[in-house]
Structures are given as C-alpha cells and as structure tokens.
Amino acid sequence: MSHTYEYPRPAVTVDCVVFGLDEEDLKVLLIQRGVEPYQGRWALPGGFVRMDESLEDAARRELEEEAGLRTSHLEQLYTFGAPDRDPRGRVITVAYFALVKLSQHHLQASTDAREAAWFSVWDTPKLAFDHADVLGTALQRLKGKVRYQPIGFELLPPKFTLSQLQRLYETVLERELDKRNFRKKILAMDLLEELDEVEQDVSHRAARLYRFDHKKYKQLEKAGFNFEL
C-alpha cells in the first residue's frame, strides 16, 4: 500500500541565460516582465515547470514562449534555492545557459513577457529575483568552459575570420591575446577548415574565411584529444 505525506512542497522553475555575440560585445537575452512580481522589471526568461515535462523541455518551452527563440546548445548550469529568492513563496530554480548566433534569431516576446531584448552582459539593468547571481554564475561558467571546450564557435557565424575568432575569446575572457600565439595555437589543433572564400563588403583588406570542423573534433575527442586555449 502506497503512502503520501502532507507537507509543504517547493515549486520548481527554470531560468535561462542565453548568450550571443556581436562584433564588439557579449550579449545576454532579457525579458521585461508583464506580470507581478517585479512587473516591468527585466529578468532572465523562464517560468514554472509543468507536471508532464522534463526540466530541459521546460527551459526550451519558456525560451520559445517568452522570446520566440530556439537553440541547439542548452546545458544545465546550477540550482538556486535560497528560501527568500521569490516573493511568491518557496521556489527553487534550475538554471540553464545557452549560446546562440545573434544573426539567426529574431526575438518576439509573448505570454507573460512584455518585451525581449539583448543587453551587454557588462551593462544590464537591475534584474528581478536573484537573476543577477544567476547571470554571474553563467558568465563564470562560460569563461571557464570556453577555454577547454570549443563551445565558443556556437557564438560565431558558420564562416568566420581568425580575427573574429580571436575577438570572441578576448571579449569573453576580458583580456587581450597575442595575435601570433593565438593563431599558431588554434591552427595547430587542425580543427579549422580553410575556405576558398574571403570577407565581403569590408573597407579593409578582405580576410580568409574558416569553418569549424565539428565532425573532426568529435573524432579527435574520442581519441583523447583535449581542446585548450
């Protein structure tokens, strides 16, 4: 005979930190809340987990509902459970972080989001709930992970220059990198496919375009290769 026990239970939400990159800045996706609590305040997209869905399914649903966004790179970040983190009651949130190519996504706010927009991670408005802590945790994860896994390529267009690749790492890591050493190291990994194409519509000398070879990386990874920059 099964038994159930009556006691207060916390609710569960998911919150998503979505990073994108433009030419000069690392961006994070925020939505403006259309309902209380914190109506009108900017926040990370997210919401309550339904009884019939997994955590990841809930995160993907909330991203699509609140911002019209889909992403292939979504991974669990951390669980935040301070007793007073949500004025509605005892709410635990499981945070995810995602990486997207800005040029491939058009934001469209809906459901309880009044607006969706990209903000510089270094200049965000005051965020609702404990979302500033969630964003800070995600940023530290990105800074660490981008050095030992090739997730940074998720932020670049499919075809990119070596200068764009270096700027990505300099932007995320917040420091300058030696051009010669960076190129020598990244090219020595033999993970970039040099294309018979150059930049178009640029005022300076057009640079060669490259593409990241995902298939080759997977093969090397199985053989014990370690990506490290």
Amino acid at 127: L
Note the pLDDT of residue 3: 64
Q: Is residue 211 part of a domain?
A: yes
Q: Name the 3-class secondary structure at 16.
A: strand
User: Mean pLDDT of all residues in the chain?
Assistant: 93
Give per-residue pLDDT as tens, 49-76. 999 999 999 999 999 999 999 998 899 9
pLDDT at 217 over 70: yes
CA angle (102 as vertex; 100, 107 as ends), nearest 5? 95
Q: How many domains does the chain have?
A: 2
CATH code (residue 204): 1.10.10.10
Residues 129 and 60 in one domain: yes
Closest Cα partner for 107 from 118, 119, 123?
A: 118
Residues 122 and 176 in one domain: no
Range of 113's domain? 11-147
Q: Is residue 229 part of a domain?
A: no
Which of 90, 124, 147 terminates a domain? The answer is 147
Residue 115 is among the residues annotated as catalytic for this protein? yes
Q: Is residue 162 part of a domain?
A: yes
Q: Is residue 161 part of a domain?
A: yes
> Which residue in 64, 65, 115, 199 is the catalytic one?
115
Residues 163 and 133 in one domain: no
At 2, the pLDDT band (50, 70, 90 cuts) reads low
Which of 112, 147, 182 terminates a domain? The answer is 147
Give per-residue pLDDT as tens, 65-104. 999 999 988 999 999 999 999 999 999 999 999 999 987 7
Give per-residue pLDDT as tens, 105-159. 788 877 788 899 999 999 999 999 999 999 999 999 999 999 999 999 999 999 9
Distance CA 66, CA 228 (A): 35
CATH code (residue 15): 3.90.79.10
Residues 135 and 34 in one domain: yes
Which of 96, 115, 147 terminates a domain? The answer is 147
